[in-house]
Every structure is written in C-alpha cells, then in structure tokens.
C-alpha cells in the first residue's frame, strides 16, 4: 500500500507546475542530466582515444621523416635543422599521446581535472600538427627547390 501511495504522490508532483512556471516534464530532470553527462563522457572519451591513436601515428610519421632526411646524400644545414625539428615534433606528439591516454584511463564521473588535462592534450596535439605543417613547408622548399639568388636576377 505504501508503494502505491508513493507512486500516486510522485505522479501528482510531476503534474504540478514548478515555481518558475515551467513544466517539470519538459525541464531537465536528474535522470536526464545523468544520461546526458554519461553520453558527454563517452563522447569525450572517444575524442581522447582518437587523439591518442593519431598522436602515435604522427610519431611514426615524424620518425619516418627523420630517417628520410638522413638518407639524403646532399646534407645541408636546413636538412639537419628539419630532422631536429621533426624529432622535437615527435616528442610533442608523445606528450599529447601520454596525456590523452591518461585521461582515457582515469576518466571518472564529474572530475574537472581530467577534462582540463584532456583539453590540454588536445591543444598540444593541435600545436604538434601546426608544427608538422610548418616543417613540411620547410621540407618542400629545401635543397633544389629553394630559390637560389645569385644576384643576376636583381
């Protein structure tokens, strides 16, 4: 009998208007917010998983670029700078990977620090990608592709 009365009272409370004049059925309830929070955490977890996966792939790309630049017989000063920059960029991607992996491993309900670390991992990953694009421009314009001015064009 008590269970039945609790259900009736609960149904009566749902049908009442809130103090703000808002219908409680249309307003977000605790159940809805917990479900939304769950989906938000899963979405964030997927993003951090992708950041960690792509960071590892970019580390491989950087190491491949370093090895290709070292194979070139015509070693110039720009070439040595570019492979040093690629090694630094691989370290940037390593930091992004470790942070994103840590976030995925310790992601808990409502932990703000974890989300903050995840946002930092995303920012570091984006910095690494921009740095990679700048290095690629350097690779394209190195060696024979660089414009050579001997003074006769002036």
pLDDT tens digits, 40-78 = 777 778 888 888 899 999 999 999 888 888 776 665 666
Tell me the per-residue pLDDT of 75-124, one tens digit each, with 9 for 90 and over: 566 677 888 899 999 999 999 999 998 888 887 666 777 888 888 999 99
Query: What confidence category does residue 26 fall into, taking pLDDT thresholds of 50, 70 and 90?
Result: very low
1 part of a folded domain: no
- Answer left, alpha or beta for residue 21, where phi above 0 means left and psi between -120 and 50 means alpha: left
19 part of a folded domain: no
106 part of a folded domain: yes
Nearest Cα residue to 143 out of 62, 84, 72: 72
57 part of a folded domain: yes
Question: How many domains does the chain contain in total?
Answer: 1
20 part of a folded domain: no
How many CB atoms lie under 10 A from the CB of residue 100? 27
pTM of the model: 0.66
What single DSSP character describes residue 144? G
Q: Provide the residue range defining the domain that includes 51.
A: 37-144
**Mean pLDDT, residues 24-31:** 46
31 part of a folded domain: no
4 part of a folded domain: no
23 part of a folded domain: no
* CA pseudo-torsion sign 110, 116, 121, 122: positive
In the numeric block, the tokens 């470790």 are attached to: 98
């Amino acid at each position: 009998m008590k269970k039945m009365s609790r259900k009736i009272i609960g149904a009566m409370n749902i049908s009442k208007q809130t103090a703000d004049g808002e219908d409680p059925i249309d307003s977000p309830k605790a159940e809805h917010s917990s479900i939304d929070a769950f989906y938000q955490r899963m979405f964030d977890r997927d993003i951090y998983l992708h950041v960690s996966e792509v960071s590892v792939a970019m580390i491989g790309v950087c190491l491949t670029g370093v090895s290709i630049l070292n194979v070139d017989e015509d070693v110039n000063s720009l070439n040595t700078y570019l492979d040093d920059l690629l090694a630094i960029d691989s370290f940037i991607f390593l930091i992004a990977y470790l942070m994103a992996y840590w976030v995925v491993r310790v992601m808990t309900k409502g932990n703000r620090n974890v989300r903050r670390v995840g946002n930092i991992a995303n920012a570091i990953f984006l910095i690494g990608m921009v740095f990679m694009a700048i290095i690629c421009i350097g690779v394209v314009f190195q060696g024979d592709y660089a414009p050579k001015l001997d003074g006769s064009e002036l």
